[in-house]
């Protein structure tokens, strides 16, 4: 594991504007930088970076955070991968924490396998560009397939020379251990003999989402039917074919930006589509689609479009994959190509514009696709048609979202010209059967129909008010908590004649201390759990260091705290996206009226809490139709009414201080 000291050094060294500047074109906007969102296709900048606060926010999607959060969102790195990326960028030596011998051995073994795989990739790539035989055979093959130099380099395609131990000898010469050559499957060892697994094959490296080489696919150039057309790396500690998709590393940014993923079958399908300008495409590499692969796509988008060639038998075999996609709560569409065509051949035969047009206009919803394909086989046979309907309802039953299921059932009823009630009954039977067999999966969405219960809008408004006032206080603490401000208070006094009057008093106090004292005096606690956590940590910092350090929150290990603080801090910067100064519109700074801002925030929080208390008391007072005894009602009424009067008077005082009319 990466040591805490290394992580701290990365946070201290990394500059968010430099890190993001490698991926997004930023322009100066006052004290900040702004640019086009890297997560959506927009023309007006909504992406803001604050060098002072060392955070960013994309107002078009709501995403935000520090440099680490950006790499995790944009590059889809894990937390350790993001730390390592920044350590390399800023040339920081990574220290590892103390590990047991077994942990060290396992970590070293995995890292050795990654290093061997990286070396192999470089070796195979070097063969097609620098070795004469590699050029003549490997490079020529890729050129014949219509791939450009740029495409070949983008996917790091290579060639393994047609000799028994060329790669193995090269790896051993570089001091790689035979153990790890065997574990990765690059070298096959039998007794005292060893030879290259991919000998004489063109090579397709398979990358993880972060770009590390996990394994390889090798295609033979021989026409001998006894020789397997494709050979893949065997399962290993770093390569699990059911958990990886070919092309995910090259496609991840495009998938996230387009909010859709095209799913194809083979390596060359992916490469040809990329070369034609369709980059949001991955392949299951000839294996049956798995749940892990679908979840990998779901990290980037909830939308999958499956591309099939014209082979009807192959399409039917893939229906199981579509059901798996639906089961994960994702949206699926299907596109088929003309007979004899596949994504590879079709992409090569069309211009980029023609391909994009075809993909856009040929995508069908899975129900439309499934019915159009299978209705041809029913041949007006009622029994077959009934079987088709059951098959479609079975697919719909996989969808976890209740509303989406209902919409699909309605669509199925329309297409198949059958009563919706019949389909809902069939769906209920499927759920009942699965429940009896113990195969039904619990989900966040119930199978029970929506009851139409209305939510209390007044309650929602009160909850929102309290949330907003608590958020306002946290915002003030984070932005101005370290400042000292002159506060004004009015104290009621009595003169010599017994007349009461309000005397103005001015005093100086720290912003955080002022808020803390008021909350302590009224015994007020934050009701929002995240705000409560932030508040406690602010007070702890003040007690320990006499100051609030914002970076401790934006870099917090608790993602919810980091996200909440980032949103609060960057909401303050949103107006600068509009560049008001350029239009001669002056925005008054909050610092100029900070004392009033703080006092109003405290008074407003008290006001909301008092209103809630009054409403609670009023709702608890029995009415004249109550079965409670008259004496009991009188006692309860009197006590509660007195408290209501007292709280109303207090509320009136707060409104007077806020210059409001009750």
Would you say 277 and 351 are in contact if contact means Cβ atoms under 8 Å apart?
A: no
Number of helices (H), then strands (E), in the chain: 28, 18
The pLDDT, as a whole number, for residue 317 is 67
422-445 per-position pLDDT tens digit: 999 999 998 888 887 766 554 434
**Of residues 438 and 53, more confidently modeled:** 53
Residue 633, SS3 per DSSP: helix
Average per-residue pLDDT in the chain?
84
| DSSP E strand stretches across 357-499 | 364-365, 484-494
Q: Which two tokens stand for residue 503?
A: 């005397």
At 105, the pLDDT band (50, 70, 90 cuts) reads: low
Residue 625 has pLDDT above 60, yes or no: no
Q: Which of 154-168, 263-277, 570-584 has the lowest mean pLDDT?
A: 570-584
**CA atoms lying within 13 Å on the CB side of residue 319:** 16
pLDDT above 90 covers a percentage of the chain that reads 39
Residue 163 has pLDDT above 70, yes or no: yes
336-372 per-position pLDDT tens digit: 998 889 999 999 999 999 999 999 999 998 888 888 7
| Burial letters 377-395, b for 16+ CB under 10 A, else e | ebeeeeeebeebbeebbeb
Please, what's the largest Cα pairwise distance for the chain?
A: 116
Q: What is the average pLDDT across 261-273?
A: 95
Residue identified by tokens 């251990």 is 177
pTM: 0.69
Q: Which of 115-119, 249-253, 380-384, 618-622 has the lowest mean pLDDT?
A: 618-622
**Of residues 105 and 144, more confidently modeled:** 144
Which spans in 174-287 are helix H? 178-183, 248-258, 267-275
Q: Which of 195-209, 262-276, 450-464 has the lowest mean pLDDT?
A: 450-464
The pLDDT, as a whole number, for residue 314 is 64
Q: What is the average pLDDT across 197-223?
A: 94
pLDDT above 70 covers a percentage of the chain that reads 84
The pLDDT, as a whole number, for residue 444 is 37
The pLDDT, as a whole number, for residue 442 is 42
At 576, the pLDDT band (50, 70, 90 cuts) reads: low
| DSSP E strand stretches across 495-546 | 500-510
Residue 530 has pLDDT above 70, yes or no: yes
538-564 per-position pLDDT tens digit: 888 888 877 888 888 888 888 889 888
φ and ψ at 137, to 5 degrees? -105, -60
The pLDDT, as a whole number, for residue 452 is 39
Residue 300 has pLDDT above 90, yes or no: no
The pLDDT, as a whole number, for residue 519 is 86
Q: Which of 8-22, 27-41, 250-264 has the lowest mean pLDDT?
A: 27-41
Residue 581 has pLDDT above 70, yes or no: no
Residue 215, SS3 per DSSP: strand
Burial of 171 (0-12, 13-18, 19+ CB in 10 A): buried
* Rounded distance between C-alpha atoms, residue 574 and residue 595, angstroms: 23
At 382, the pLDDT band (50, 70, 90 cuts) reads: confident
Go through the domains of the chain in sequence order and give each one's CATH number. Answer: 4-89 (3.90.580.10), 101-239 (3.90.980.10), 248-437 (3.40.1360.10), 457-602 (no CATH)
* Residue 656: count of CB within 10 angstroms of its CB: 14
Q: Which two tokens stand for residue 357?
A: 């047009």
118-159 per-position pLDDT tens digit: 999 999 999 999 999 999 999 999 999 999 999 999 999 999
* Rounded distance between C-alpha atoms, residue 551 and residue 541, angstroms: 12
* Rounded distance between C-alpha atoms, residue 249 and residue 266, angstroms: 15
Q: Which two tokens stand for residue 283?
A: 């392949």
Q: Which of 19-28, 100-109, 130-139, 146-155 has the lowest mean pLDDT?
A: 100-109
* Rounded distance between C-alpha atoms, residue 544 and residue 557, angstroms: 20
The pLDDT, as a whole number, for residue 125 is 98
The pLDDT, as a whole number, for residue 621 is 58
At 43, the pLDDT band (50, 70, 90 cuts) reads: confident
3-state SS string for 542-598: HHHHCCCCCHHHHCCCCHHHHHHHHHHHHHCCHHHHHCHHHHCCCCCCHHHHHHHHH
At 455, the pLDDT band (50, 70, 90 cuts) reads: very low
Q: What is the average pLDDT across 66-72?
A: 92
Q: What is the average pLDDT across 265-273?
A: 95
Fill in the DSSP letter of residue 631: H
């Amino acid at each position: 594991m990466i040591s805490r000291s290394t992580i701290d050094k990365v946070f201290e060294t990394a500059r968010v504007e430099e890190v993001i500047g490698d991926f997004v074109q930023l322009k100066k906007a006052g004290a900040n930088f702004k640019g086009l969102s890297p997560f959506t296709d927009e023309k007006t900048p909504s992406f803001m970076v604050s060098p002072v606060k060392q955070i960013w926010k994309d107002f078009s999607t709501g995403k935000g955070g520090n440099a680490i959060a950006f790499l995790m969102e944009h590059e889809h790195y894990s937390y350790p991968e993001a730390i390592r990326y920044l350590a390399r960028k800023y040339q920081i030596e990574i220290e590892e924490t103390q590990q047991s011998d077994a942990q060290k051995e396992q970590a070293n073994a995995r890292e050795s396998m990654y290093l061997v795989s990286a070396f192999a990739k470089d070796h195979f790539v070097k063969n097609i560009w620098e070795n004469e035989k590699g050029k003549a055979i490997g490079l020529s093959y890729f050129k014949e397939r219509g791939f450009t130099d740029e495409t070949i380099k983008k996917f790091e395609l290579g060639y393994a020379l047609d000799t028994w131990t060329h790669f193995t000898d090269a790896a051993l010469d570089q001091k790689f251990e035979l153990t790890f050559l065997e574990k990765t499957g690059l070298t096959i060892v039998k007794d005292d003999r060893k030879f290259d697994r991919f000998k004489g094959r063109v090579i397709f490296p398979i990358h993880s989402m972060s770009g590390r080489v996990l394994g390889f696919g090798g295609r033979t150039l021989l026409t001998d039917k006894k020789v397997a057309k494709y050979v893949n790396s065997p399962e290993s500690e770093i390569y699990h074919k059911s958990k990886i998709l070919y092309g995910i590393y090259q496609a991840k940014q495009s998938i996230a930006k387009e909010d859709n993923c095209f799913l194809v079958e083979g390596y060359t399908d992916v490469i040809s589509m990329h070369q034609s300008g369709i980059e949001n495409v991955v392949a299951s590499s000839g294996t049956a689609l798995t749940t892990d692969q679908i979840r990998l796509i779901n990290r980037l988008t909830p939308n999958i479009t499956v591309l099939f060639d014209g082979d009807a038998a192959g399409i039917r075999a893939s229906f199981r994959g579509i059901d798996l996609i639906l089961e994960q709560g994702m949206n699926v569409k299907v596109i088929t190509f003309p007979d004899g065509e596949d994504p590879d051949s079709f992409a090569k035969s069309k211009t980029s514009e023609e391909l994009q047009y075809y993909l856009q206009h040929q995508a069908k919803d899975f129900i439309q696709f499934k019915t159009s394909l299978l209705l041809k086989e029913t041949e007006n046979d009622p029994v077959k048609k009934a079987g088709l309907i059951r098959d479609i309802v079975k697919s719909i039953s996989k969808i976890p979202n209740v509303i989406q299921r209902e919409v699909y059932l309605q669509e199925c009823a329309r297409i198949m010209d059958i009563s919706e009630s019949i389909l809902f009954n069939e769906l209920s039977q499927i759920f009942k059967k699965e429940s009896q067999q113990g195969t039904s999966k619990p989900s966040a969405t119930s199978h029970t129909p929506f009851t139409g219960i209305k939510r209390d809008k007044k309650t929602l408004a009160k909850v929102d008010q309290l949330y907003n006032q608590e958020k306002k206080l946290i915002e003030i603490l984070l932005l101005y908590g370290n400042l000292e401000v002159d506060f004004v208070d009015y104290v009621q006094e009595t003169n010599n004649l017994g007349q009461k009057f309000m005397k103005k008093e001015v005093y100086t106090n720290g912003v955080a201390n002022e808020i803390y004292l008021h909350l302590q005096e009224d015994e007020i606690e934050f009701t929002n759990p995240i705000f409560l956590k932030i508040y406690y940590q602010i007070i702890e910092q003040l007690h320990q260091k006499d100051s609030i350090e914002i970076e401790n929150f934006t870099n917090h290990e608790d993602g919810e705290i980091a996200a909440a603080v980032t949103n609060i801090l960057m909401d303050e910067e949103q107006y600068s996206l509009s560049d008001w100064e350029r239009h001669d519109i002056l925005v008054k700074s909050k610092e100029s009226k900070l004392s009033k801002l703080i006092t109003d925030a405290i008074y407003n929080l008290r006001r909301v809490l008092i209103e809630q208390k009054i409403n609670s008391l009023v709702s608890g007072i029995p009415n004249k139709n109550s079965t409670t005894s008259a004496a009991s009602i009188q006692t309860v009424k009197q006590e509660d009414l007195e408290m209501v009067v007292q709280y109303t008077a207090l509320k009136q005082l707060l409104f007077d201080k806020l210059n409001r009319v009750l």
